[in-house]
Chains A and B, each alone.
Chain A
Amino acid sequence: MATSNEGGLSKYVTLVSSDGFEFVVLREAACKSGAIKRMLDPKSSFAESTTGRCTFEEINGIVLEKVAEYFYYSYKNRNQEDVPDMDIPPELCLELLMAADFLDT
């Protein structure tokens, strides 16, 4: 709470996977996801928005890592065209799709 109130919101948020991995991600990048964006919206002041810590009980570490990677990938390339495709291992495809659906990314 203290971190988030100092000079507005902290720049980073923590994403926690179901099996306990934590990813510290740039807030702006994470807000690529509609669900996370709303989760962290200071106006509605849910628990996550006050702590800056989002726990996803349905997403395991491997998938969440890929998700975080994607956040950065799309953040980095946000204003560009002709961006090369991101490398996605086929075995993760389905779960990533479900995570994307869940997170509204």
Chain B
Amino acid sequence: MISGRGRGKIRPPRRGLGGNADSSDFDAMWDILRSALREIHEKNASKLSFEQLYRASYKIVLKKQGDKLYDRVKEYEEQWFGSQVMPAIRKLITNNLINTTVGGGVAGTTANERRITGEEFLKGLKASWEDHNTVMNMTTDVLMYMDRVYCADNRKPSIFTTAMGLFRDHILRSRLVSADSELTTFDILNSVILDQIYMERGGDVINRHLIRSCVYMLEGLYETDEENEHEKLYLTVFEIEFLKASRIFYQNESANLLREADASTWLRQTKRRFAEEEARCQTTISLLTAPKIARVLEDTMIREHLQDFLAMEGSGIKAMIENDRYADLTLLYQHISRVDPSKEPLKNALQTRVVDLGSEINKTILNTDFSAAPEPQPEEGEAAAEGNEKPKATKLSAAARQTAAAIKWVDLVLQLKDKFDNMWKKCFDEDLILQTALTKSFSDFINLFPRCSEYVSLFIDDNLKRGIKGKTETEIDEVLDKATMLLRYIQDKDMFERYYKKHLARRLLHDKSESADVEKQMISRMKLEIGNSFTNKLEGMFKDMAMSDDLTAAYRTHISNLGDIDLKQIDLGARILTSNYWPMESMGGGATIGEDGNRQTCTWPSEIQALQDSFKAFYLRERNGRMLTWLGFLGSADIRCIFPKIPGKEGVLGRERRHEINVPTYGMVVLLLFNDLADGEYLSFEEIQQRTNIPQQNLIHILHTLAVLPKCRVLRKHPANKDPPKPGDKFCFNESFTSKSVKIKAPVISGSVNKVEGEEERKDTEDRNDEHRGNVIDTVIVRIMKARKVFSHQQLFAEVISQLSQRFKPDLSMMKRRVESLIEREYLERVEDANTPTYRYLA
């Protein structure tokens, strides 16, 4: 039929012949194709000539009989399924298998048996699928021309697609003859695969490859012949079942874990399951499922019981934090971040822990504080050791112990912070949300502690005084970092400033500071952290110190230039303090304020007065209009004392002894009185007070130092006992004083050592701070109102709080009082008949 046609010259197109084609032509060619299909199915394709078959289908299509060919092929495949493939598969579907599907695991069949029958079935199904696939590929090749021309023109699915659909309809969706139920091969396939996966989850080894092949099959088949990507049978049927089964499985598992295991096991098991399912998606089923099964796991294994596991006694989050179980915490963090990007549960748990632990610290320290005072013995060793005091110092005063406690508190807080920081770095992937949460909770509990500002300042003081001795720069940096960090947490920055100023003043005036460099570093850090206004005065204090040094030097040159004036060789080192910068009251000057509010000066000995006048003259020469006030309660003096030999005594007492005694300024004033006194004469307390005009409290302190404490007892007190001096006591020069060292530093009772404030002192500080705050609030309110003119109550308060947040958290009632007082003073007035309470600024 074909070969007969002449070629070689141009002919009219052959398509014109289509109409003339008779059916015998078609039948003949269909016969060729049909036998070829049979051969292909029976894997005898090598006998066939592709060209011949291709030509046959080409002819048929050219003759417009593509539809017929299409239908015939389809029909042929259907028959083939019915007669050859299905029976083979039916044979594989045993009763056991059906029972597995229907009953979900039947008694009487061991897992092993079940696995083997399941595998048989899967193998059979896989084989027939693979056969079908090869055959259909070949068929499609042969019928390529039909696909290309007929199917494309008539919008029919390609023959391959159709054939795949046939497989789906005739094999997978065929009802089972033996069962009267709705069961199809597909159901069995599903349940067999699920059963196998179930066994694998239980620890059995299964043929993953086989399942993978079957899953491939499902992935290659679609709900309809349109082959919509979302309608893969895998997605529409299998995956749903799979996820359902998995959900049940994992619900059971997590319930079991909750009942029988601890949180640690749970974390590990969950991690393992995640990995397993991930691997399963890669090796056994499809990657498409990976995110979905992960979600199921998240739901069942993590979300549902998270709180229960976190709360577990002995292994929950509390124990994890307590025992630094970093591995567990890392896992926990990973799991939680899976289910909740804000990590709410972890965040809350951490915050609670931080606040709990922090409050514990607060409580212990407060207890040490108060229990130590009345009963020094039991607590002493501990407090002393913690505060790095000499352990043998049994006579630590209560105040010193409290100072130690303060430093201990800071240390504990820092330890806690370190612990959580460490955890944060190691386990929480440096998560920002958690960091914020941690910071917040730290800030919370630190601010809960009423003395935080004071303690932090004391801690810095301690470190600057001696803590940094012999440390490398990096170590110092570390300490400063820590201090700055604590400072960041403190809410009442003004309170801190107050304490810091006080402590700094002491350090500077008594030369206690270890390194001026480090001091300056600390200040610049605070500047960075809080701002210029905060460190302004602190810097001023440093400037004063530097100025004073220059001034002293200049004064010395000045004196030596004068040459002839002999001031009994009194050497003056003056410290000029700008009164605004320095916290006079808290430096011990409180007692010198007289009732009329003026500073009461002591009566200086004549030698000293001459010196003062000379210096004053020198100072005012270059600076007009300044006031110099001499502060007796500050400063110190070196006094050279000569103790005469005592007749009739051997040894030390038999010789003349010279000592240089360093005493506070008041001490000097007192001692100079005794210069003019004859041997054996007494001065009474009242006499001394009257002649020196030193405030009583300071006088008691200084006399205590000089007449009671053994280290520097250059005066003798009558009656001789260890009680602090009081009015009515009498004092005389102690000519039999001895000491091993030439230079003696008189121990100072108060003033030069920074320590925790007593209750009264503290109240005092707070009152002063409140007063200061009141002024600050006034200023802020006036500034705001000046800009706004009219402003509602609520807005005003919000604005004030936000402006002050850098320095402290203002108290609402205080703010109200300030507003009231401003109204009284006619800075503000209330706006009548406004809807909300509103104020107006009065210019």
Contact = CB atoms under 8 A, between A and B. Distances in A.
Interface of A: 18, 34-35, 38-39, 41, 43-50, 54-58, 60, 62-63, 91, 94-95, 98, 102, 104
A91 B144 contact: no
Q: List the 10 closest pairs (A to B, CB-CB), nearest first.
A: A46-B50, A38-B141, A44-B138, A39-B50, A47-B49, A60-B7, A48-B50, A45-B46, A45-B45, A94-B10
B144 A104 contact: yes
A13 to B, nearest CB: 12
Nearest to B137: A44
A47 B2 contact: no
A62 B46 contact: no
Which of B52, B53, B54, B138 counts the most A-chain CB atoms under 10 A from its CB?
B54
Contact of A95 (B10, B53, B55, B148): B10
Contacts of A35: 54, 144-145
Contact of B14 (A41, A50, A56, A98): A98
A35 B10 CA distance: 24
Contacts of A94: 10-11, 13
Contacts of A102: 58, 145
B147 to A, nearest CB: 10
Given A47-B47, A57-B3, A102-B58, A38 B144 contact: yes
B8 interface: yes
Given A44-B134, A45-B46, 16 more contacts: A34-B144, A35-B145, A44-B45, A46-B49, A47-B47, A48-B49, A48-B51, A54-B50, A54-B51, A55-B49, A55-B51, A58-B2, A58-B5, A60-B8, A95-B7, A98-B14
B50 A47 contact: yes
Interface residues of B, number: 29
B240 interface: no
Q: Would you call the interface of chain B mostly helix, strand, loop, or mixed?
A: helix
B349 interface: no
A41 B138 CA distance: 9
Contact of B137 (A34, A43, A62, A98): A43
Which of B5, B8, B134 counts the most A-chain CB atoms under 10 A from its CB?
B8
Contacts of B11: 94
B137 A39 contact: no
B132 to A, nearest CB: 14
Nearest to B9: A91
Which of A39, A45, A46, A95 counts the most B-chain CB atoms under 10 A from its CB?
A46
A47 B46 contact: yes
Contacts of A34: 144
B48 interface: yes
Contacts of A18: 3, 7
Contact of A41 (B13, B54, B141): B141
A18 B51 CA distance: 12
A41 B45 CA distance: 12
30 contacts: A18-B3, A34-B144, A35-B144, A38-B141, A39-B50, A39-B51, A39-B141, A41-B141, A43-B134, A44-B134, A44-B138, A44-B141, A46-B45, A46-B138, A47-B50, A49-B50, A57-B2, A57-B52, A57-B55, A58-B5, A58-B7, A60-B8, A62-B8, A91-B9, A91-B10, A94-B13, A98-B14, A102-B58, A104-B144, A104-B145
Given A35-B144, A38-B50, A94-B10, A58 B55 contact: yes
A58 B145 CA distance: 15
Interface string B252-282: 0000000000000000000000000000000
Contacts of B46: 45-47, 50
Contacts of A58: 2, 5, 7, 55
A50 B47 CA distance: 10
Contacts of B145: 35, 102, 104
A18 B6 CA distance: 11
A102 to B, nearest CB: 6
Given A39-B54, A60-B8, A46 B14 contact: no
Contacts of B52: 57
B481 to A, nearest CB: 63
Nearest to A102: B58
Contacts of A46: 45-46, 48-50, 53, 138, 141
Interface in B181-240: none
Contacts of A98: 13-14
Which of B5, B10, B55, B141 counts the most A-chain CB atoms under 10 A from its CB?
B141
A57 B51 contact: yes
B279 to A, nearest CB: 31
Contacts of A45: 45-46
Contacts of B51: 39, 48, 54-57
Contacts of A63: 7
B397 to A, nearest CB: 95
A95 B49 CA distance: 23
A49 B137 CA distance: 15
A14 to B, nearest CB: 12
A63 B8 CA distance: 9
Nearest to B59: A58
Interface in B117-173: 134, 137-138, 141, 144-145, 148
B520 to A, nearest CB: 72
B27 to A, nearest CB: 20
Contacts of B148: 104
Nearest to A49: B50
A62 B7 CA distance: 10
Contacts of B141: 38-39, 41, 44, 46
Contacts of A49: 50
A43 to B, nearest CB: 7
Nearest to B47: A47
A19 B48 CA distance: 21
Contacts of B50: 38-39, 44, 46-49, 54
A9 to B, nearest CB: 15
A54 B51 CA distance: 7
A34 B145 CA distance: 10
Interface string B35-65: 0000000000111111111110010000000
